[in-house]
């Protein structure tokens, strides 16, 4: 089932009603944090669907407002112009947010409708003209484009989260298909690992290999097939050996010449933090928990030391990157109860929500109220991840509230 404009409007109304119910119910009584955060997740999610949806293609725009004048820098070669709909990476951010909202009991009926529509949308990027089948950067109906291993890892993770939420066998099939594509990029240079994109062998980055690790581990989570656990360990070990820097965080990539590219982004450590927690949960081997706790600490220290406004706990290199780091902190909290890192990112996000939204209710890229950013079009991925973060926080706070 896909969502018509009338259904979307109805769902937006539901979100507004839920916001009202999150308000204080009596004089002097504050709403529970879980309710406030769920309200913000719903509001952001509905706002994204309203503003970014491109009904003609049942996909989404790259930016809002969209003039198609933006130059995108996140592809091979850079300098790609904004097009009629978004590339795969920002689209996947909305898929991820949907999967988290599906874990909230009150949201499941509505989010199933959204999920159906998003699955239809992501299949627009599925390229079966090349072997093995994989997802390309831009919808196949428009053009043939590059197929990135990190993009495909995101698709694999999203499909597995959808499978864990719904048990729809198609989603498991798609995740396994994606993993087959990722393995086609594995090579012997540097002792293994996959490259960034199909046909280019110049580097082996943390983004591709970290997301491949998580894809394998989440397929194992849903199937208990040891094949995927073995591959999860193999990718994890390769990352740990080749990309863990002396700073204690993960470097961006290693060139196939052997040179380490010592550029550090929050998400590369975030994906490995979540992977370490999953490996601990699946194997019971405490070395993974020790590594997770050390990485959690070193990542926070490193990104706290980078230039950032006083209103932020760490450098917000990219909102979605910080979201991936938060996924790791979320996972770690659930096994060791250490809330400090969750709390720090929560404080930064709350500041952004209260101070850094534009006239459309969209949060700035830096999470700060810089005038130039407030008037600038907002990227789909920057906004979709806000819905995911607040949905995750709502779930966490609800669990904490039930323990009190």
Average pLDDT of the residues in 319-328: 99
What is the distance between the terminal CA atoms of the chain, rounded to a whole angstrom? 41
DSSP assigned state of 130: S
Q: How many residues does the chain have?
A: 404
pLDDT at position 258 over 80 = yes
Chain mean position to CA 5: 26
Query: CA-CA distances (angstroms) from residue 113 to 47, 78, 124, 315, 324?
Result: 16, 35, 18, 36, 25
Helix (H) or strand (E) holding 256: none
Q: How confident is the model at residue 287 (pLDDT cuts 50, 70, 90)?
A: very high
Q: Where are the domains of the chain?
A: 5-403
List b or e across 367-389, with b for residues whose CB sees 16 or more CB atoms inside 10 angstroms.
bbbeeebbebbbbbbbbbbbbbb
Question: Cα(397)–Cα(310) distance, rounded to whole angstroms?
Answer: 25
DSSP assigned state of 366: T
Query: What is the reported pLDDT for 119?
Result: 99
pLDDT at position 27 over 70 = no
CATH architecture of 5-403: Alpha/alpha barrel (1.50)
CB 8 within 8 A of CB 114: no
pLDDT at position 332 over 70 = yes
Average pLDDT of the residues in 319-337: 99
User: Between these two residues, 28 and 189, which has the higher pLDDT value?
Assistant: 189
Helix (H) or strand (E) holding 8: helix 5-21
Which SS3 state, helix, strand or coil, does residue 258 take? coil
Least confident of 30-39, 41-50, 66-75, 262-271: 66-75
Could you write out the DSSP letters of every residue in 328-354?
HHHHHHHHH---HHHHHHHHHHHHHHH
User: Between these two residues, 29 and 1, which has the higher pLDDT value?
Assistant: 29
390 contact partners, CB below 8 Å, separation of at least 6: 37, 38, 40, 41, 44, 349
CB 325 within 8 A of CB 269: yes
* pLDDT tens digits, one per residue of 78-135: 778 899 999 999 999 999 999 999 999 999 999 999 999 999 999 999 999 999 999 9
Average pLDDT of the residues in 210-230: 99
From the CA atom positions of the chain, what is the Rg in Å? 20
CB 279 within 8 A of CB 271: no
* pLDDT tens digits, one per residue of 235-257: 999 999 999 999 999 999 999 99
Q: How confident is the model at residue 70 (pLDDT cuts 50, 70, 90)?
A: confident
Instruction: Kindly tell me the burial class for residue 393, based on how many C-beta atoms sit within 10 Å of its own C-beta (0-12, 13-18, 19 or more).
Output: buried
């Amino acid at each position: 089932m896909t969502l018509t404009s009338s259904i979307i409007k109805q769902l937006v109304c539901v979100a507004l009603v839920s916001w009202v119910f999150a308000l204080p119910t009596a004089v002097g009584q504050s709403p529970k944090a879980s309710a406030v955060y769920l309200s913000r997740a719903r509001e952001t999610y509905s706002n994204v669907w309203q503003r970014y949806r491109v009904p003609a293609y049942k996909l989404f725009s790259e930016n809002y407002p969209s003039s198609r004048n933006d130059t995108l820098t996140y592809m091979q070669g850079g300098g790609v112009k904004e097009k009629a709909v978004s590339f795969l990476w920002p689209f996947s951010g909305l898929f991820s947010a949907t999967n988290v909202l599906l874990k909230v009991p009150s949201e499941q009926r509505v989010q199933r409708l959204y999920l159906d529509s998003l699955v239809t949308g992501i299949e627009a990027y599925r390229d079966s003209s090349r072997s093995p089948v994989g997802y390309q950067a831009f919808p196949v109906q428009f053009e043939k484009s590059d197929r990135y291993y990190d993009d495909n890892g995101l698709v694999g993770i999203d499909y597995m989260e959808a499978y864990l939420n719904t048990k729809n066998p198609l989603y498991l099939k798609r995740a396994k298909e994606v993993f087959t594509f990722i393995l086609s990029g594995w090579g012997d240079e540097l002792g293994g690992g996959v490259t960034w994109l199909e046909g280019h062998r110049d580097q082996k980055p943390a983004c591709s290999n970290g997301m491949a690790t998580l894809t394998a581990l989440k397929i194992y989570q849903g199937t208990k097939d040891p094949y995927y656990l073995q591959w999860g360990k193999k990718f994890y070990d390769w990352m740990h050996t080749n990309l863990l820097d002396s700073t204690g965080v993960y470097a961006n990539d290693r060139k196939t010449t052997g040179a380490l590219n010592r550029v550090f982004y929050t998400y590369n450590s975030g994906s490995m933090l979540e992977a370490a927690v999953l490996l601990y949960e699946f194997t019971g081997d405490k070395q993974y928990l020790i590594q997770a706790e050390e990485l959690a600490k070193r990542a926070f220290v490193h990104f706290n030391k980078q230039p950032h406004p006083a209103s932020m706990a760490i450098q917000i290199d990219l909102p979605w990157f910080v979201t991936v780091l938060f996924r790791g902190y979320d996972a770690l909290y659930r096994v060791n109860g250490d809330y400090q890192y969750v709390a720090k990112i929560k404080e930064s996000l709350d500041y952004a929500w209260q101070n850094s939204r534009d006239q459309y209710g969209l949060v700035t890229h830096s999470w700060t109220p810089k005038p130039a950013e407030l008037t600038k079009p907002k990227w789909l991925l920057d906004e979709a991840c806000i819905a995911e973060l607040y949905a995750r926080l709502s779930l966490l706070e609800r669990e904490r509230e039930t323990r009190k």
